[in-house]
Amino acid sequence: MTWALDHIGDIMFRAGQHAWLAGLPLVLGLVIALPLGWLAARRPRLRAVLLTTTGLLYTIPSLALFILLPPLLGTKILDPVNVIVAMTVYTVALLTRTVADGLSSVDGSTRQAAIAMGYGSFARFRAVDLPLAVPVIAAGLRVAAVSNVSIVSVASLIGISQLGYFLTDGYARSFPTEVWVGIVACLLLALVFDLVIQVVSRFLTPWTRVVAA
């Protein structure tokens, strides 16, 4: 506890870096997964291809991806962009299926009514399908957020600064306190992400909390 308080500045600084490395890919991944999921929901054949491909991306070990990306992107090994890109890949892998499922979950008669009222396909996506898919997408985002926070810590093995540093450093120095501090800090950060997503989702879906007639 004393150790944690003595190093609170460093912990907060690395937590900020960790949040950035895990959070930005969450947003980027969602932005990419939305059109992919939309395509998958519209075209059954494309759906199988898209979901299998994106699903496979998640099986690439993170350490391998951190090392493979620099030659592909032309970045330096220590460039945080590698981590951002890798985490975005994982987020897309997790969210494409969620977005597709969320968009497909819209009730048939609601969809039919929207078409019959003269919504074009993009307008319908924006005004009907997407708002109704928010609860499902938010659930997927929560999984992706926790997954990102956990995977980012691996990046300390290639020297990118974030909370994972406390794990590798503590291990190297045989100093368990520091390892525990790193674990608890990661956990708290994951909880904050989770809370933010839940609050935003609640704000966007007032209709889900009404009492049925």
Partner 1 sequence: MIRFEGVTKRYADASGTDGGAGSVAVDDLTLEAPTGKITVLVGPSGCGKTTTLRMVNRMITPTSGTISINGRDTASLDVAELRRGIGYVIQHAGLFPHRTVLDNVATVPRLLGTDKRTARSRAMELIERVGLDPAMAKRYPAQLSGGQQQRVGVARALAADPPVMLMDEPFSAVDPVVREQLQNEFLRLQSDLGKTILFVTHDIDEAVKLGDQVAVLRVGGVLAQLDSPAKLLADPVDDFVAGFVGRDRGYRALSFAAAPELSLTDEPTVRLGAGADEVRAIGTPWVLCVGDAGEPLGWVRAAAVESEVTRSVLHRGGTVASTTGSLRALLDAALSSPSGRGVVADADGRLVGTIRAAEVIPAIEARRDAASSGAAAPSGAGTGATTSAADRPAEEATAR
Query: Considering the complex, what minimum distance in angstroms separates the CB of residue 118 from partner 1?
Result: 4
Q: Taking CB under 8 A as the rule, does residue 113 contact partner 1?
A: yes
Q: Taking CB under 8 A as the rule, does residue 1 contact partner 1?
A: no
Query: Considering the complex, what minimum distance in angstroms separates the CB of residue 121 from partner 1?
Result: 10
Q: Out of 48, 110, 188, 195, name the contact with partner 1 by CB under 8 A.
A: 110
To 10 degrees, what angle do helices 8-42 and 176-204 make? 40
Query: Considering the complex, what minimum distance in angstroms separates the CB of residue 125 from partner 1?
Result: 14
Which residues, 45 to 84, sit near partner 1 by CB under 8 A?
Answer: none
Q: CA 164, CA 151: separation in Å to the nearest integer? A: 9
Q: Taking CB under 8 A as the rule, does residue 131 contact partner 1?
A: yes
Report which of 170, 164, 208, 171 is spatially closest to residue 189, judged by C-alpha positions: 164
Q: CA 2, CA 51: separation in Å to the nearest integer? A: 48
Q: Taking CB under 8 A as the rule, does residue 109 contact partner 1?
A: yes
Q: Which is nearer to partner 1, 1 or 212 (CB)?
A: 212
Q: Are 18 and 189 in contact, with CB atoms under 8 Å apart?
A: yes
| Strand residues in the chain grouped as ranges (E) | none
Report which of 37, 35, 150, 32 is spatially closest to residue 91, judged by C-alpha positions: 32
Q: Which is nearer to partner 1, 102 or 170 (CB)?
A: 102
The site for partner 1 (CB under 8 A) is made up of 107, 109-120, 123, 128, 131-132, 205-207, 210-213
